[in-house]
Amino acid sequence: MAKMIISGEPAESTSGQWMEVRNPATGEVVDKAPKGTVEDVHRAVAAAQKALPEWSALPSARRGEVLHKAVHLIHEHENELAKLLTQEQGKPLREAVLELRRFAHTLEHYAGLAKNIRGGHIPQLDEGRYGLILKRPIGICGAIVPWNFPVSLMGNKLGPALLAGNAVIVKPASTTPLTDIRCVDLLCQAGVTPGALSIVTGPGATVGEEILRHPAIRKIGFTGETRTGKHVMEVAAQEIKRVTLELGGSDPMIVADDADLDQAVSAASVGRFFNCGQACLAIKRLYLFERIYDEFVQKLCDKAKRLNVGNGMEPDVRLGPLHTAGQRQEIEEQVADAVKRGGKVLIGGKRPEGVDYEKGFFYLPTLLADVPEDARIVQEECFGPALPIFKVKEWDEAIAKANRSIYGLGSSVWTRDQGRALWAAERIESGYTWINSAQIIYDELPFGGVKWSGLGKEHGSEALDYYMETKSVVVGSG
């Protein structure tokens, strides 16, 4: 059975209870993890308080070396970790490998920034006085990560937090704790001061809530749905904690009539169906110019029909199961609502048939047309393999409809007119816009949403600012 990691050592829960982790494709138990308690969070906090002086006192270059070593260990264990990730999350094995490489790349990126953490010097503030700007770690940080990309989204928090000299307590999703535990273990093996990095598994209502409320934890990095993010912000405010929130999205994709259709179709397919559509940055609304609408829809339908649905451990599978029964039910309800309001199912819209699919949470890739804008699948975040497609006449209409959402995470534009593309990027209300590019996140660029999609930035050197305090010092000549 898997165990939590506290003070650099495996630890069981004080409750003595365990949680089953099941494979979404088969329903089989993969392993068990401790059902953590409030007391377990307190143990992790005490370990962090003990380790923080030593870890934060290390030169940032030394902390960078630890992250570099962790990257090598992740690569060495890639096959083992990828299989475990597929078994507990459901995604195809090739996607699990990509996620682990993304995790390693993020750690490597921040390791590479280790010698670039700088303060500032302001000469001649006044007669006989100059100023210094110091950068200091915040202290103990809580990292609350979801089940859809449990490893890479954990890396978004661990990279900048650890490099900046903070201690971190990770709270993984209860359904996907196993790979996170192994990755935290490898980071500890790489040389993180024992106690400066812990992982406490258990229900969000107990473990997650205590991380939010504990006064010694000064920063919360959270990725999850918007409703929960509001709660995180509300509770953290009681202790004036720093928060970074990466929340839901309903990303629009606009394809103009001068776009490279084959490339755009490929990007739409990957952008919607990668990880069975369970991504905050997935394409969730597709806007096509009238002239290319029919051709584009036919190409996309053909491509989606070729996606092989099945157990992610099979090498030819491109679409695994949804993560839980509840997740599938929500998609089914959103599709049914769209059809009830006049929408038309072009392909999919149901569960696959056959004995191979009976025990898993499978759902066919689904494309919808003629969906009214008040349908749930348009107004809400659709966290599964279903995509509504809309016909628009020109740019102003496309952008107006793209912005008609409470969310503002990502967006994409396809056109050969670079001037028009940049014009559109300036007007679309989102934190990230891709122009003629698949939706790939780069560690070099800051990432975060606007409106109900979040607060603060991850990735880029900017993320370090969210894990450091800035202090001003005035020095007199004496």
Instruction: Catalogue the active-site residues.
Output: 246, 280
Three-state secondary-structure class, residue 245: strand
Those residues with Cβ within 8 angstroms of residue 293's Cβ, 6 or more apart along the chain or in another chain: 391
Alpha helices (H) along 319-404: 325-340, 376-379, 395-402
Q: Are 429 and 410 in contact (CB under 8 A)?
A: no
Residue 434 to residues 20, 88, 290: CA-CA distances in angstroms? 39, 31, 22
* Distance separating alpha carbons of residues 117 and 36, to the nearest angstrom: 36
Tokens of 217: 């934890």
Residue whose token pair is 């030593």:
54
* Distance separating alpha carbons of residues 348 and 83, to the nearest angstrom: 28
* Distance separating alpha carbons of residues 153 and 283, to the nearest angstrom: 18
Residue 313 to residues 82, 153, 310, 421: CA-CA distances in angstroms? 10, 22, 8, 40
Q: Which has the closest alpha carbon to 98: 333, 391, 377, 441?
A: 441
Give the CA diameter of the chain.
Answer: 83
* Distance separating alpha carbons of residues 250 and 407, to the nearest angstrom: 6
Q: Which has the closest alpha carbon to 286: 304, 305, 309?
A: 304
* Distance separating alpha carbons of residues 392 and 377, to the nearest angstrom: 18
Q: Give the number of residues written for the chain.
A: 478
Three-state secondary-structure class, residue 412: strand
Strand 407-408 to strand 197-199: parallel, antiparallel, or no bridges (unpaired)?
Answer: unpaired
* Distance separating alpha carbons of residues 221 and 234, to the nearest angstrom: 14
Q: Which has the closest alpha carbon to 56: 115, 130, 140?
A: 140
